[in-house]
Amino acid sequence: MAATIHCNSLRLTKPFHAAKPSTAVSSSSARFISTLSNSVSATPTALKTSISRWGRIVSAVVSDESTVGSSFSATDPDVFKLTYLEGNSWVWNVGGANILVDPILVGNLDFGIPWLYDAAKKFLKKFQLSDLPGIDCLLITQSLDDHCHLKTLRPLSEKSPNLSVIATPNAQKLLDPLFKNVTYLEPGQISEIETSNGSKIRVKATAGPVLGPPWQRPENGYLVESPQGQLTLYYEPHCVYNQSFVEKEQADIVITPVIKQLLPNFTLVEGQEDAVKLAKLLKAKFIVPMKNGDLDSKGFLASLVKAEGTLESFKEILSKELPDAKVLDPIPGVPVEISANSSLQ
C-alpha cells in the first residue's frame, strides 16, 4: 500500500486521547508545538526555516524535489506523527494516542557520573516535561539512563502515577517504585494501547542489545502497529537486533541510528550497513534516522566516543540495497507524518 509523508510545521488540532488519559501531564497540541518553537536555540538553517513557519498551519507532502501543500486528517486512525526530541527521546502520535519514548526532559544525561560524562541537547534546550501534550503511554526500551532517565521519570510519575507504561523487564527495579500501571514485555510478547474510540495499538517487543554479561536478558526494541493494521513501525535505538526474529516481521517505518558510535575496541551504537540490513530484513518503505549521539557532551568518556559514517554514506548504501525506500531525516521538534491512506505524491 502506498503511503503519504507529511512534515508539519504546525498542527493546530486538539489531542485525541486514549480511553485512560493521563491526568496531570496535559496541554494542547498547539501549546506543544509553540513550546517546541520557543525551545529551539542554535538551530541550523533548515530548522530556522521550519520554525519561521510555525505561526501558520502547514501540512506539506515531502517528495524528492518539491513540497506541496496538502490537507491532512488528524483523526485518521492509521497515521504516525513522529516528533524527535533529540537523544533517544520521541513523542509518537499513533491513531490519535500519544506515546512518549525514552524521555530525557529534566536535566542533562550524565549516567550519575557527570565528572566523566555530561550531555545536553543542542536544539530543544528549553523544552520541559510540562510542555508535553497529553501522554497516553510511556515506552521504555532499555534500563540505562539514556533511555530510563530517572531525573525525568520521577517528576513524570509524581504528576501521572497511573500512566500506562510498557517497558523492558530490565527496568523493573527502576519503574516499579514510580508507576502503578507497568507492563513488562519480553521479546516476542505483545501488549495493546486502547484509544478513546475503542481501537487498539498493538505493541510487540523485540530483542535489542545485551548490556551486561552474555546470559543477561536483552533490552527491547518494539514493533508498533497502527489501529487498523495498515502501518507498522519498528524502533530500536542501538541498531542491534536478532536477525532470526526480525526477518519474520515486516515494518513500513524503521527508526534507527545510521551513524555508528564507537569507543576504543567497543561499538556503542551500530549503524551504516547494519541499518541498511535491518531495513532490508523488515522490507521498510521509510527509514527515519535518529542522531542519538548528536548532543553537546563533555567529560573524559565523551572525548573517547567517535562517530563512524554519515547520513549521506548510509543513503548511498541504502540506494543499492533498497532503492525504493525513502529516508526522512527528522528535524528536532518538527513532526514527520506518515499515512497509509493516501498515495505518495
- Over residues 288-322, the pLDDT tens digits come to 999 988 888 899 988 999 999 999 999 999 999 99
Helix, strand, coil percent content, the chain, rounded in steps of 5: 20, 30, 50
Percent of the chain clearing pLDDT 70 (strictly above)? 77
List, in sequence order, the alpha helices (H) in 206-333: 243-246, 273-281, 300-304, 311-321
Residue 195 forms part of a structural domain: yes
What CATH number has the domain bearing residue 199?
Answer: 3.60.15.10
**Three cell numbers at 74?**
488528524
* pTM > 0.75: yes or no: yes
The pLDDT of residue 175: 98
In a domain, 237, yes or no: yes
CA distance 343 to 345: 6
| In a domain? residue 345 | no
| Position 102 in a domain | yes
Residue 260: name the closest of 221, 338, 313, 336 by CA: 313
Q: Residue 233: what are its φ and ψ, rounded to 5°? A: -115, 140
CA angle 90, 94, 100 (to 5 degrees): 30
State which amino acid sits at residue 324: D
Please return the burial class of 332, using the count of CB atoms within 10 Å of its CB with bins 0-12, 13-18 and 19+.
buried
* R_g over Cα of the chain: 19
If residue 253 lies in a helix (H) or strand (E), which one and from where to where?
A: strand 253-257
When pLDDT is cut at 50, 70 and 90, the band that residue 26 belongs to is: very low
C-alpha cell of residue 176: 516499579
Residue 13: inside a domain: yes
Helical (H) or strand (E) element with 51: helix 45-52
Q: Residue 82 — φ and ψ, nearest 5°?
A: -110, 110
pLDDT in tens, 100-111: 999 999 988 888
pLDDT more than 90, % of the chain? 61
Q: State phi, psi for 64 to the nearest 5 degrees.
A: -65, -30
Would you state the cell numbers that stand for residue 246, as one nine-digit string?
526480525
Look up cell 536478558; give the residue: 217
Q: Provide the residue count of the chain.
A: 345
Report how many domains make up the chain. 1
Pair 272, 317: CB distance under 8 Å: yes
- Domain membership of residue 120 (yes or no) is yes
Pair type for strands 164-167 and 67-69: unpaired
The answer to whether position 311 is within a domain reads yes
**Cα torsion for 235, 238, 242, 247, to the nearest 10°?**
40
Structural domain for 196, as ranges: 4-339
Instruction: Round to whole Å and give the CA distance between 299 and 301.
Output: 6
What are 143-197's pLDDT values in tens digits?
A: 999 999 999 999 999 999 999 999 999 999 999 999 999 999 999 999 999 887 7
Spatial contact of 29 and 133, defined as CB atoms under 8 Å apart: yes
